[in-house]
Structure 1
Amino acid sequence: MPRRGHRWKTPPEQLTLTLRAESLVFGGAALARAPDGRVVFTWFAAPGELVEAVVEREYPDYLEAVTTRVLEPSPDRVEPRCPLFGECGGCQLQHMAYPAQLRAKEAVVREQLKRIGGLGDDVVRPIVGAREPWGYRNHVRFSTGRKFGDVGFISRRGHGLLKVEHCPIADPWVNEILPQLQGHGAGLHQIQVRHSAATGSFLVNPAVPGVPFPTGQTSYLERLAGHDFVVSASAFFQVNTAQAEEMVRLVGEALPSRGRLLVDAFAGVGTFARIFADRFDSVVAIEESNSAARDAKVNLAPVKNARIRIGKVEDILPAFEDHPDAIVLDPPRPGCAPPVLAAITAFRPRVVVYVSCNPATLARDLRVLVDGGYRLTDVTPLDMFPQTGHIECVSRLEWPAA
Structure 2
Amino acid sequence: MYSMIVMRNRQVPITPNLNSNADRLRVTLDTVWEMGACSAWFENTHLSVFGGIPGEDVEVEIIRATRQFVAARVVEIYESSPYRVAPPCPYFGPCTGCEWQHIDYTHQLTLKREIVAKSFADIPELANLKILDVIPSEQTYGYRNHARFTVGPQGKLGFINRTTRSFVAVDECRIMAPSINSTLQKLQGHCGETSQVAIRLGVNTGETLIQPPLLSSGIPIATGQAYYRESIAGMPFRIGSPSFFQVNTPQIQVMVEHIQKHLDLQGSEVLIDAYAGVGTFAGLLSRYVRKVFAVEESKAAINDAKANLASLNNIEFHQRRVEDALEKLEVPSSIVLLDPPRAGCHPRVLETLTRTKPERVVYVSCDPKTLARDLRHLVTGGFEIAHVQPIDLFPQTHHIECIVILHLKTEKTEG
Out of 189, 194, 207, the residue aligned to residue 213 of structure 2 is 207
Q: Which amino acid is 2:313 matched to? A: K
* CA distance, structure 1, for counterparts of residue 381 and residue 53 of structure 2: 39
Out of 302, 306, 329, the residue aligned to residue 320 of structure 1 is 329
Out of 33, 41, 53, the residue aligned to residue 46 of structure 1 is 53
SS at match of 2:134: coil
SS at match of 2:406: strand
Out of 193, 196, 202, the residue aligned to residue 196 of structure 1 is 202
* CA distance, structure 2, for counterparts of residue 88 and residue 77 of structure 1: 19
SS at match of 1:362: helix
Distance 1:367 1:299, change over 3 A: same
* Mapping of residues 34-183 of structure 1, within 5 Å: 34=42, 36-58=43-65, 60=67, 63-116=70-123, 118-145=125-152, 147-157=153-163, 159-183=165-189
Between the aligned residues of both structures, percent identity stands at 39
Other-structure match for 2:226: 218
Q: Is the 8 A contact 1:87 1:155 kept in 2?
A: yes
Q: Where do 4+ consecutive residues of structure 1 move more than 6 Å?
A: none
Out of 305, 315, 323, the residue aligned to residue 306 of structure 1 is 315
Other-structure match for 2:294: 285
Other-structure match for 2:33: 25
* CA distance, structure 2, for counterparts of residue 89 and residue 251 of structure 1: 33
* Mapping of residues 206-355 of structure 1, within 5 Å: 206-208=212-214, 209=216, 210-257=218-265, 258-355=267-364
Q: Is the 8 A contact 1:123 1:376 kept in 2?
A: no
Offset, 1:195:
1.1
* CA distance, structure 1, for counterparts of residue 99 and residue 128 of structure 2: 25
Offset, 1:254:
3.1
Q: Is the 8 A contact 2:32 2:54 kept in 1?
A: yes
* CA distance, structure 2, for counterparts of residue 61 and residue 163 of structure 1: 29
* CA distance, structure 2, for counterparts of residue 361 and residue 134 of structure 1: 27
Offset, 1:30:
0.8
Q: Deviations over 1:112-168 (max 9, x none)?
A: 1112464145431110011320010111111113x5211222223353332211111
Other-structure match for 2:192: 186
- Structure 1, 196-205 or 339-348: larger mean CA deviation: 196-205
SS at match of 1:19: strand
Question: How many residues are aligned here?
Answer: 393
Q: Is the 8 A contact 2:186 2:221 kept in 1?
A: no
Offset, 1:376:
0.3
* CA distance, structure 2, for counterparts of residue 63 and residue 149 of structure 1: 33
Q: Which amino acid is 1:259 matched to? A: S
TM-score, with length taken from structure 2:
0.90
Unaligned runs of 5+ in 1: 1-7
SS at match of 1:93: coil
Q: Which amino acid is 2:41 matched to? A: R
Unaligned runs of 5+ in 2: 1-14
Q: Is the 8 A contact 2:37 2:51 kept in 1?
A: yes
Distance 1:339 1:225, change over 3 A: same
Other-structure match for 1:4: none
Q: Is the 8 A contact 2:337 2:361 kept in 1?
A: yes
* CA distance, structure 1, for counterparts of residue 86 and residue 124 of structure 2: 36
Other-structure match for 2:10: none
Distance 1:105 1:117, change over 3 A: farther
Q: Is the 8 A contact 1:55 1:65 kept in 2?
A: yes
Offset, 1:76:
0.8
Offset, 1:347:
1.4
* CA distance, structure 2, for counterparts of residue 10 and residue 165 of structure 1: 37
Q: Is the 8 A contact 1:359 1:393 kept in 2?
A: yes
Q: Deviations over 1:162-203 (max 9, x none)?
A: 221111111011112222111111112211111122112111
* CA distance, structure 2, for counterparts of residue 331 and residue 254 of structure 1: 20
- Structure 1, 119-128 or 326-335: larger mean CA deviation: 119-128
Q: Is the 8 A contact 1:256 1:351 kept in 2?
A: no
SS at match of 2:292: strand
